[in-house]
Copies of this chain bind each other. A is one copy, B any other.
């Protein structure tokens, strides 16, 4: 097969951009840092949305929609928040042909505007918890944009909840972290994320605690795949989200926020892609079985339609490619690029022999299968390859993760992968030193892998890495 992409080992960032272009996942938009998500990319995002949305609803949050435009003054009510976001804001100064009395910012995130409405809607402890989520676009001006990973506009879900006490807020932020995000990322994306607590320096602007899910990419770097924040009473104070408690007195609510975005598409590419293109985990794939008519022939179209129906009836998401006017080789290269988990190839010769050819994207295994067995073979392959992709990513992460005991060794190890080092050997000062060498503390975890309640807990492990 001719070389379609720059090999990963040769130039990983170039391979990434090549893949996005050749698999037609996205294009750069005309305004710096923006992107166009093309159908091949957007259909994967729709599957991410569907899987996430179902989990968010099971966790009890309801979808709503808050305005894109936020009065500049709202941002200023929470000091750390405005400081964190000011450099990235896009500002509308003119609208309807006139200069606006107060400029409005295009939302970089919605804690402030949602805080304002939570204050209106929450009256009594009976109104709590208030569990909201929205699917929306947000804008953060990027100086060094990179498709999916850092774009001036991106799509995401942002959850915002208010609770009667700290324990409830804390538990809910963790519930989302594990039952929604980790479950989706491990079980559907097939990416074995490490779930931990951010250090004070890496915390979200305005949060009291930021928890993160970090995935290892194919070059050994880390990608923050999602975050869940405890906001304490910071936004409740700034927006007066108060309620009459069970005792009758006025109390301040405790809030959380949590988000995942189109950045996950970048994670998917970099965690699972290979030199031939994307590899989409079967549970995520919009098209799980790509049925290709090799060339026209008597009965081939009918046999293909029958295979398609059989696969569909078995619950498989099928795409039919009967563009026999386009050379088969070119279509096969495109199918590799797009990463359909299983290809089913059917031509006149196969049909005459009563067979089809099954090609598995993950293992590259190619087998000739009697037509009657295609559905069973495909469903078995989808099941097996979901696991295979995850296990491959896990084995890779383990092979690139080193246990060390000093900061110097950790910074060294982070050149090619992740370092696990006692947090006591790093600390805020060591973090500064690492940052100077483009290495960050991705998160802190307990020795048993669970998420700490404080960075001061004894025995914590810090994960250091280069990152996107």
Chain A contacts to B: CB under 8 angstroms? 27, 29-31, 34-39, 42-43, 45-46, 62-71, 74, 86-97, 103-104, 106, 113, 116-117, 120, 126, 132, 136-137, 139, 141-143, 152-153, 155, 325
Per the bound structure, the CA–CA distance linking A181 and B120 in Å amounts to: 36
Residues of B within 8 A of A96 (CB): 87-90, 141-143
Copies of this protein in the assembly total 2
Residue of B30, B74, B126, B153 near A30 (CB, 8 A) is B74
- Among A93, A132, A142, max chain B CB count under 10 A is at A93
Per the bound structure, the CA–CA distance linking A35 and B68 in Å amounts to: 10
Asked if B67 and A39 sit within 8 Å, CB to CB, the answer is no
Per the bound structure, the CA–CA distance linking A158 and B108 in Å amounts to: 24
Closest to A101 in B: B32
Closest to A139 in B: B68
User: Can you pick out 22 interface pairs between chain A and chain B where the beta carbons lie within 8 Å of each other?
Assistant: A29-B67, A30-B67, A31-B67, A36-B117, A39-B63, A39-B132, A42-B64, A43-B63, A45-B65, A68-B106, A86-B97, A87-B97, A90-B95, A91-B92, A91-B93, A91-B95, A92-B92, A92-B93, A92-B106, A95-B152, A126-B325, A137-B137
Residues of B within 8 A of A38 (CB): 64
Per the bound structure, the CA–CA distance linking A338 and B444 in Å amounts to: 46
Closest to A151 in B: B67
With A39-B132, A89-B95, A96-B141 given, can you name 17 additional A-B contacts, CB distance below 8 Å? Answer: A29-B66, A30-B67, A30-B74, A31-B104, A34-B67, A36-B67, A36-B117, A42-B62, A42-B63, A43-B62, A68-B106, A69-B152, A87-B97, A90-B92, A92-B92, A92-B106, A96-B143
Residues of B within 8 A of A143 (CB): 96
Residues of B within 8 A of A29 (CB): 66-67, 69, 113
Per the bound structure, the CA–CA distance linking A234 and B463 in Å amounts to: 56
Residue of B65, B88, B116, B153 near A42 (CB, 8 A) is B65
- Known interface pairs A27-B120, A30-B113, A31-B69. Does A64 touch B37 (Cβ–Cβ under 8 Å)? yes
Asked if B153 and A69 sit within 8 Å, CB to CB, the answer is yes
Asked if B91 and A62 sit within 8 Å, CB to CB, the answer is no
Closest to A136 in B: B137
- Among A43, A46, A90, max chain B CB count under 10 A is at A90
Closest to A88 in B: B96
Residues of B within 8 A of A87 (CB): 96-97
Q: What are the 9 A-B residue pairs with the smallest beta carbon separation, nearest first?
A: A96-B141, A39-B62, A34-B67, A29-B67, A90-B95, A37-B65, A31-B69, A91-B94, A95-B141
Residue of B46, B70, B152 near A63 (CB, 8 A) is B46
Per the bound structure, the CA–CA distance linking A419 and B106 in Å amounts to: 44
Residues of B within 8 A of A132 (CB): 39
Per the bound structure, the CA–CA distance linking A27 and B137 in Å amounts to: 20
Per the bound structure, the CA–CA distance linking A137 and B106 in Å amounts to: 12
Asked if B65 and A36 sit within 8 Å, CB to CB, the answer is yes
Per the bound structure, the CA–CA distance linking A87 and B139 in Å amounts to: 24
A390 to chain B, nearest CB (A): 27
Closest to A93 in B: B93
Closest to A131 in B: B39
Asked if B71 and A30 sit within 8 Å, CB to CB, the answer is yes
Residues of B within 8 A of A68 (CB): 34, 68, 106, 137, 139, 153
A133 to chain B, nearest CB (A): 9
A363 to chain B, nearest CB (A): 29
Residues of B within 8 A of A97 (CB): 86-87, 89, 141
Closest to A326 in B: B126
Residues of B within 8 A of A152 (CB): 69, 95
Per the bound structure, the CA–CA distance linking A120 and B38 in Å amounts to: 12
Closest to A29 in B: B67
A383 to chain B, nearest CB (A): 27
A26 to chain B, nearest CB (A): 9
Residues of B within 8 A of A116 (CB): 30
Closest to A132 in B: B39
Residues of B within 8 A of A325 (CB): 126
Per the bound structure, the CA–CA distance linking A276 and B25 in Å amounts to: 49
Per the bound structure, the CA–CA distance linking A118 and B234 in Å amounts to: 46
Residue of B63, B67, B137 near A35 (CB, 8 A) is B67
